């Protein structure tokens, strides 16, 4: 058997030279000579062999070399045929990893100016945009000794030309004229012309200083003088528009810096992330038509009722012209959202889009008014969460990230959040989150799915959710929830601009109750006290011992699992000058008791007895296992490998180092409790996990296994243990790929107490690369890991899914592994240990492990090329298969992990900014007013709220001729496209109608009644079972909570008198409901409600519940009235089906 492993750099260089020569149209003789030279080099003797273990002998050319030769032959053939060969450019698959050798961590820049504390409101001392926001933030950064660790940049004023790149001359001069003016009355009068603005004598200068400092920070990053940086500045800028001051903002600092990067450095892709709780409409407007800037905003919206009260802040605003698809708004329609919600936004939407976009620069508009305690945002993001939001972005855009301070009006949470953000930029581990992570709220789920829906046509990474057709809306049997896209506007009517319009200038700051302020302050103090910020000075410990080279195959020197694997990794670490930067651990052998934490004593003793056996006996014993070879020194090497990992565990958990790299062999993750398996003797990672539980009392350990083969041994050892969460992403091929069988499938989730703590992500096609693995991390691994909140992360780091591996058939790059390591390092306070498993191309595994090490050392690593080329091609078979696998995994695991709430089906059709027209039209094409078998309602969600100023009785049956809904749609096309009108098809019956008794109908109904829980009078509903009143889903959801709790499913809307069933999730139209609707109609309109049902109205109010009985009654009525209809010339509706319309202006 000849080895397919590439072991010499000479062979690799020859291969590259061969490909370069053929692609430069060399002559056929020169091409043949180069190919022959490459083949000879590849077949040469192994220069690295020693002790007989590393000597591979003659070998056939590698698959990569054979592919190069095949391309050369094809090119010659095409040249002979007179055709031009269109081949891909020569790319060294390891070039990025080679480039990383010279990449070392650069400084973090910090820019600020003490004079920025001068800006204040002279006529309102309680104004929340006050100097303490700036001074307290700097104080906290100094308390944590962060400022002294930064490269401090000198602040500067923006030039007039720089400001005029985006703002008008009139805008600039208007603010310039206020410079040094101390006429307080005149300044207040001028300020009153703008929304949420005050002007101080220093405002003009400090606004120039804020903008100039932001531009200077970006300039230094682009010049390579710093790796990343932060601008602690004020006044803020993201609300400032071309010719209007707005929301405490005068010049748009971030937009100006982005424009500078576009013009002065010719950047083509800039990502602006704005997580200020207010929508940065100024920034959005500047780049709405520009694909060179992707604007991503997360903000409180509440259907337009939250400032700045703009419809353009909703999810449907996706950009225009060339910028279509490059504007993202995530509108949060409730207050009180916290860490789990914001992390979900980053994991499910922002991070996938950012990777596909491949930004050259990232600018963060960092407002901290979504932080706990801020009276403006009333959100509950804890300060320690902000580093977790920033962390996954730190290795994108070549690490060029500028964080620019915007809002934040609780100085305690602002100062702490900003300081921890700077700490993350400096490379310190993300602190563990003190409070348990709350699951994403239904409000967030709805907003995020709406965003994904409207952007799906533009982004390949947003294809995970399946889609549904109009017909599925009426199918109750769907196992996957159907998401209904909707838009609700509660912002009222925007008055036309008027030169005489005035805005309040005093008492404008948001206020919380004394009790709420005290509660928030107490919670913030507790969070600060319990947040662990101290970290070891040593970043990485390193475990390696040359004695582990002594285990090798005595019968096949070319066996893939050979000593040169770890020797080459060690050599590359030395070549990259990494060994001197890590703490070298002294190797030790694991004791029998330690190994028996994961294995039976009989298994340990059987391996121990190998010492002294003959070669023939070893071969015979090894043949009794699956893919195992044995050596007289196997036991010593195996316990040394396990002991080395335990040394790393001790170093990390004792606080001597932050993380660990274990360059060990033999590997371990296939080893079963009672026998070796798949090159593995003892399960190193499993022993380490059990050791950490026993010796350090850990309760939650995460094992991530990215070896291309399923870690069957690790799974079996922990399948009933809830203290260990095992996540494996591996090639499966429907059970045909090693180790074969069903154990690695997605539906194997653990047993007994460990049920749900086993997560398999099985690839059923080869060719998975960085993109597919990254999606697995974002959609499954990271959400589940954050919900689990591990105290230690162990990585079974097999690199046989790496590009070039002869066994794996996948395409993960070394820099991809570095990025995944970085993402995992945000967990457990950075306590992560990466342990070598498989990987059989020594170049691949050496580069890959080196990138993991550099990442843990804080060095930048080249960003994997997720989107720049792949997005331009058709989706690969591997990518399509990846989506199928992830969909199955999410559906399976959502029953165990509450964070996986986004696996819903989305509507199929998207077109234009309204994003519902096609779906609405497709549905209506299948409906007619005389058709009683619709395929489903469409357009907005059936809960969409009508304009309360134009209430009308929903039960009034319109007097229309029989027509198709396509004809009806044509008549009302504009209203439907603007979502002012929605088609509703209520159910004709409902089993829960049996809960209603005609004799229990109340004597009257007051439609102006307030919610019994929150006293709200907006969007209220009446429980038909107990007559209690509660607010709807877009207020505080008290009616739904009541109905779920009391099991009262039927409710009546005070807005349009419709009846909704929570159990059926549908509107109901039935004669039994008329008594309730009529009482509400009398109260609302002072007249009786028209009878619209096909059956005769009964005095006792008793009607059959079943729809078919009602239909029979209707048929009798129609027969009795047939002659009357003929005489009067009227036409019957036939089936009794009618259109129920809601207006939502």
Catalytic residue annotation: 239, 670
Nearest CA to 868 among 262, 327, 91? 91
Query: What value does the CA radius of gyration of the chain take, rounded to a whole number of Å?
Result: 34
How far is Cα 794 from Cα 876, in angstroms, rounded to an integer?
32
3-state SS, one letter per residue, for 726-765: EEEEEECHHHCCCCCCHHHCCCCCCCHHHCCCEEEEEECC
How far is Cα 1055 from Cα 1068, in angstroms, rounded to an integer?
16
What phi and psi, each to the nearest 5 degrees, are found at residue 938?
-140, -170
Report yes or no: 549 and 49 within 8 Å, Cβ to Cβ: no
CA 262 to each of CA 271, 327, 448, 968, 1134: distance values in angstroms, whole numbers, following the listed order: 12, 17, 30, 49, 65
Report yes or no: 826 and 863 within 8 Å, Cβ to Cβ: no
Burial 923-958 (b: 16+ CB within 10 A, else e): bbebbbbbeeebbbbbbbbbbbbbeeeebebbbeee
Length of the chain: 1145
Q: Which residues contact 1079 (CB under 8 A, 6 or more apart)?
A: 1001, 1002, 1003, 1004, 1005
How far is Cα 49 from Cα 56, in angstroms, rounded to an integer?
7
28: exposed, middle or buried (Cβ count in 10 Å: 0-12, 13-18, 19+): middle
Burial 1038-1058 (b: 16+ CB within 10 A, else e): bbbebbeeeebbbbbbbbbbb
Kindly report each contact of residues 533-537 with a partner whose C-beta sits within 8 Å and lies 24 or more positions away, as own/partner. Answer: 533/144, 533/423, 533/428, 533/431, 535/428, 535/429, 535/658, 535/829, 535/830, 536/655, 536/656, 536/657, 536/658
The residue assigned the tokens 């996938």 is 352
Kindly report each contact of residues 1040-1048 with a partner whose C-beta sits within 8 Å and lies 24 or more positions away, as own/partner. Answer: 1042/1013, 1048/995, 1048/1023, 1048/1024
Task: Using alpha carbons only, give the angle 254, 268, 871 rounded to the nearest 5 degrees.
Answer: 120
583: exposed, middle or buried (Cβ count in 10 Å: 0-12, 13-18, 19+): middle
Sign of the CA dihedral 764, 768, 774, 775? negative
Report yes or no: 155 and 165 within 8 Å, Cβ to Cβ: no
How far is Cα 1013 from Cα 1029, in angstroms, rounded to an integer?
9
Sign of the CA dihedral 774, 775, 781, 783? positive
Report yes or no: 276 and 242 within 8 Å, Cβ to Cβ: no
Nearest CA to 473 among 28, 859, 923, 873? 923
Q: Which residues contact 1121 (CB under 8 A, 6 or more apart)?
A: 1132
525: exposed, middle or buried (Cβ count in 10 Å: 0-12, 13-18, 19+): exposed
Structure tokens at 579: 């060994």
How far is Cα 633 from Cα 785, in angstroms, rounded to an integer?
38
151: exposed, middle or buried (Cβ count in 10 Å: 0-12, 13-18, 19+): middle
CA 443 to each of CA 337, 439, 901: distance values in angstroms, whole numbers, following the listed order: 9, 11, 12
Nearest CA to 730 among 794, 808, 805? 808
């Amino acid at each position: 058997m000849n080895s397919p492993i590439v072991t010499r750099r000479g062979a690799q260089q020859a291969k590259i030279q061969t490909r370069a020569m053929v692609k430069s149209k060399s002559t056929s003789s020169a091409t043949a000579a180069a190919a022959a030279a490459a083949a000879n080099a590849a077949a040469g003797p192994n220069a690295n062999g020693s002790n007989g273990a590393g000597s591979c002998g003659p070998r056939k050319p590698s698959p990569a070399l054979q592919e190069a030769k095949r391309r050369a032959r094809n090119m010659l053939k095409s040249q002979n045929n007179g055709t031009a060969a269109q081949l891909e450019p020569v790319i060294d698959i390891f070039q990025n990893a080679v480039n990383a050798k010279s990449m070392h961590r650069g400084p973090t820049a910090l820019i600020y100016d003490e004079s920025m504390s001068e800006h204040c409101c002279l006529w309102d001392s309680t104004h929340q945009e006050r100097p303490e926001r700036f001074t307290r933030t700097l104080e906290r950064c100094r308390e944590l000794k962060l400022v002294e660790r930064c490269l401090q940049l000198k602040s500067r004023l923006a030039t007039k030309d720089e400001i005029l790149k985006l703002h008008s001359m009139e805008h600039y001069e208007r603010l310039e004229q206020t410079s040094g003016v101390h006429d307080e009355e005149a300044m207040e009068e001028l300020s009153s012309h703008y929304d949420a603005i005050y002007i101080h004598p220093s405002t003009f200068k400090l606004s120039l200083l804020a903008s100039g400092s932001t531009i200077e920070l970006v300039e230094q990053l682009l010049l390579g003088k710093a790796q990343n940086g932060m601008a602690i500045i004020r006044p803020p800028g993201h609300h400032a528009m071309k010719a209007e001051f707005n929301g405490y903002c005068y010049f748009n600092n971030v937009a100006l810096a982005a424009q500078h990067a576009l013009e002065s450095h010719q950047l083509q892709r800039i990502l602006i992330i704005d997580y200020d709780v207010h929508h940065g409409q100024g920034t959005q407007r500047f780049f709405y038509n520009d694909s060179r800037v992707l604007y991503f905003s997360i903000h409180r919206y509440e259907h337009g009722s939250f400032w700045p009260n703009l419809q353009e802040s909703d999810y449907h605003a996706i950009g225009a012209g060339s910028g279509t698809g490059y504007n993202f708004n995530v509108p949060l329609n409730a207050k009180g959202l916290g860490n789990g919600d914001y992390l979900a936004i980053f994991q499910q939407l922002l991070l996938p889009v950012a990777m596909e976009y491949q930004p050259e620069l990232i600018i963060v508009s960092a407002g901290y008014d979504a932080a706990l305690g801020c009276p403006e945002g009333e959100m509950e993001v804890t300060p320690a969460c902000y580093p977790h939001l920033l962390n996954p972005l730190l290795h994108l855009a070549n690490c060029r990230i500028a964080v620019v301070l915007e809002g934040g009006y609780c100085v305690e949470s602002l100062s702490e959040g900003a300081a921890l953000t700077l700490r993350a930029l400096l490379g310190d581990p993300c602190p563990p989150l003190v409070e348990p992570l709350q699951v994403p709220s239904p409000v967030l789920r709805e907003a995020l799915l709406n965003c994904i829906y409207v952007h799906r046509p533009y982004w390949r990474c947003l294809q995970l959710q399946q889609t549904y057709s109009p017909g599925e809306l009426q199918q109750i049997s769907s196992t996957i929830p159907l998401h209904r896209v909707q838009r609700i506007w509660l912002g009222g009517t925007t008055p036309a601009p008027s030169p005489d319009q005035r805005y309040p200038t005093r008492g404008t700051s948001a206020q919380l109750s004394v009790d709420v302020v005290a509660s928030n302050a107490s919670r913030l103090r507790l969070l600060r006290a319990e947040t662990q910020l101290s970290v070891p000075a040593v970043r990485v410990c390193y475990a390696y011992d040359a004695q582990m080279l002594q285990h090798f195959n005595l019968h096949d020197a070319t066996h893939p699992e050979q000593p040169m694997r770890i020797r080459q990794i060690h050599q590359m670490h030395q070549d990259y000058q990494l060994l001197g930067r890590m703490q070298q651990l002294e190797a030790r052998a694991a004791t029998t008791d330690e190994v028996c934490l994961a294995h039976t004593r009989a298994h340990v003793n059987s391996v121990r007895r190998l010492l002294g056996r003959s070669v023939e006996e070893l071969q015979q014993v090894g043949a009794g296992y699956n893919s195992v070879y044995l050596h007289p020194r196997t036991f010593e090497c195996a316990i040394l490998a396990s002991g080395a990992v335990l040394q790393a565990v001790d170093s990390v958990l004792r606080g001597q180092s932050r993380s660990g790299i274990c360059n060990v062999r033999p590997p371990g993750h296939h080893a079963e409790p009672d026998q070796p398996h798949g090159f593995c003797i003892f399960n190193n990672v499993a022993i380490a996990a059990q050791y950490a539980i026993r010796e350090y009392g850990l309760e939650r350990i995460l094992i991530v296994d990215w070896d291309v083969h399923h870690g069957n041994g690790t799974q079996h050892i922990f399948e009933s243990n809830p203290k260990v969460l095992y996540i494996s992403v591996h090639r499966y091929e429907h059970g045909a790929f090693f180790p074969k069988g069903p154990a690695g499938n997605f539906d194997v989730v653990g047993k007994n107490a460990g049920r749900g703590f086993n997560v398999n992500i099985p690839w059923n096609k080869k060719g998975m690369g960085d993109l597919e693995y990254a999606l697995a991390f974002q959609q499954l691994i990271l959400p589940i890991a954050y919900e689990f909140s591990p105290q230690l992360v162990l990585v079974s780091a097999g690199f046989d899914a790496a590009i070039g591996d002869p066994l794996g058939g996948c395409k993960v790059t070394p820099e991809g592994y570095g990025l995944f390591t970085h993402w995992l390092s945000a967990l457990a306070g950075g306590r992560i240990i990466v342990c070598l498993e498989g990987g059989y191309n020594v170049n691949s595994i050496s580069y890959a492990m080196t990138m993991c090490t550099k990442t843990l050392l804080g060095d930048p690593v080249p960003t994997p090329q997720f989107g720049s080329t792949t997005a331009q091609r058709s989706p690969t078979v591997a990518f399509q298969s990846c989506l199928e696998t992830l969909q199955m995994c999410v559906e399976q695991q959502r029953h165990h992990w509450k964070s996986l709430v986004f696996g819903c089906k989305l509507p199929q059709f998207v077109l234009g900014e309204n994003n519902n027209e096609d779906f609405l039209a497709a549905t209506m094409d299948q409906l007619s007013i005389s058709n009683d078998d619709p395929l489903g309602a469409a357009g907005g969600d059936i809960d969409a709220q009508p304009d309360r100023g134009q209430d009308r009785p929903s039960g009034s049956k319109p007097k229309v001729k029989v027509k198709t809904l396509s004809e009806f749609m044509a008549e009302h096309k504009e209203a439907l496209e603007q979502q002012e009108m929605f088609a509703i098809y209520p159910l004709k019956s409902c089993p829960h109608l049996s809960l209603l008794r005609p004799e229990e109908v109340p004597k009257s109904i007051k439609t102006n009644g307030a919610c019994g829980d929150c006293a709200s009078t907006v969007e209220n509903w009446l429980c038909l079972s107990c007559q209690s009143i509660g607010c709807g889903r877009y207020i505080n959801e008290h009616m739904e909570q009541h109905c779920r709790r009391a099991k009262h499913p039927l409710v009546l809307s005070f807005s349009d008198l419709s009846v909704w069933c929570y159990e059926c999730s549908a509107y109901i139209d039935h004669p039994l409901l008329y008594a309730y609707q009529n009482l509400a109609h009398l109260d609302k309109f002072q007249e009786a409600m028209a009878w619209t049902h096909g059956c005769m109205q009964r005095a006792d109010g008793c009607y059959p519940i079943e729809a078919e009985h009602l239909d029979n009654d209707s048929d009798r009525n129609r027969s009795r009235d047939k002659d009357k209809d003929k005489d009067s010339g009227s036409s019957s509706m036939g089936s009794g089906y009618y259109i129920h319309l809601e207006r939502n202006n």
